A and B are shown apart, each in its own frame.
Chain A
């Protein structure tokens, strides 16, 4: 089955620790995205990548970092510099940035 996987579904971390969220796709899509969603809110773009070894900042990149070493994978690191990291994180991909994106199931990060 083709799709996007995010792991883990729930993640708990202590304040001040870096944490990495996984996003993998087997759809052969070139472009991948990370969004943040706060309770009752819409989506905010953190980072995106249109090709391997290249990525761009979105609207709220501060306190986050990414890498794109393989086409299938686009991990997101939430660093200790992110002031309010508790949120729902969504990964998406698309073969063509003028068309729809396909979303993973999300990771809910809680910082204690």
Chain B
């Protein structure tokens, strides 16, 4: 069925470290894929997206590449900042639309 699996957190990094948050999905087709970010006490914001295989989404120094061979959409950033501390959600539409399927969310904590 439709599912999204994210690595468990929390992930704790020092400022300027490299970040990877893993996301894999199940699908019979090629759904659009999304990364959302949620800062404390706020709603979710779309961070980046990719709509077809091999697409790379990027925003604010974050990147993720749609890899159909490994059904993955890992989020990366070369140098994290304290201000990147937030919860990150991977998501995809359900096979027949109507709703999004979200991963469980990964807490990122960046220390100065």
Interface residues of A (CB under 8 A from B): 4, 6, 33, 40-43, 45, 48, 50, 56, 58, 90, 92, 97-106, 108
Contact = CB atoms under 8 A, between A and B. Distances in A.
B82 interface: no
A34 B10 CA distance: 26
Contact of A101 (B41, B100, B103): B100
B31 to A, nearest CB: 8
B43 A106 contact: yes
A36 B73 CA distance: 25
Contact of A98 (B42, B43, B93, B105): B93
Contact of A99 (B32, B42, B102): B32
B97 A97 contact: yes
Given A42-B89, A42-B105, A97 B42 contact: no
